[in-house]
Amino acid sequence: MDEMDILVLSVDKTDTKTDKGDAIRGVSVLYTFNTELRPEVNNQNSFGQKSAKVWADISCFGQFVNVPGLYRAKFTMKVGADGKPVVKPYDFTYKGAGIFVPTPVDSDADKVRDYAAKLANDHKSKVG
């Protein structure tokens, strides 16, 4: 797993110091692998989208063009302190806007898909 698409939900930059003067610098990135926000059944007691959160280097902040948005992320893997593998995104390339269009139960799926495509194209022409 070197690269894959993710949906970035939020990005928060921190550049401050502790009471002792130690620097706290980085970017908190909330994301999901479910780039289409499909309905999810996690188990019999859990429904919906589970998100992941990562603390990234502060230099990543400038890579975020539009949030929420679809990004191609590069991942690194290491062994955590507990001996389990930890997969972490470290480089983000913008691919497009994350536009969620609710689909009413009685709607025509083709019309909804066309509307979502129109919104995406309108947004793309504004962003460039």
Domain range list for the chain: 3-97, 101-128
Q: Could you tell me the fold of the domain covering 3-97?
A: OB fold (Dihydrolipoamide Acetyltransferase, E2P) (2.40.50)
What's the pLDDT tens digit per position in 42-101? Answer: 777 888 888 999 999 999 999 999 999 999 999 999 999 999 999 999 999 999 987 777
Question: In sequence order, which residues have a C-beta less than 8 Å from that of residue 124 and are 6 or more positions away?
Answer: 96, 97
The two tokens of residue 72 are: 């191609």
The two tokens of residue 103 are: 């689909």
The two tokens of residue 113 are: 């898909």
How confident is the model at residue 115, as a pLDDT? 67
Is the pLDDT at 125 greater than 80? The verdict is no
Is the pLDDT at 116 greater than 90? The verdict is no
81 neighbors 106 (Cβ within 8 angstroms): no
How confident is the model at residue 128, as a pLDDT? 56
72, β-bridge pairs:
5, 93
Is the pLDDT at 105 greater than 60? The verdict is yes
pTM: 0.75
What's the pLDDT tens digit per position in 4-37? Answer: 999 999 999 999 999 999 999 999 999 999 888 8
Query: DSSP assignment of 4-62, as one string?
Result: EEEEEEEEEEEEEE-TTS-EEEEEEEEEES-TT----EEETTEES---EEEEE-GGGGG
Is the pLDDT at 102 greater than 80? The verdict is no
45 neighbors 24 (Cβ within 8 angstroms): no
Phi then psi dihedrals of residue 9, to 5 deg: -95, -35
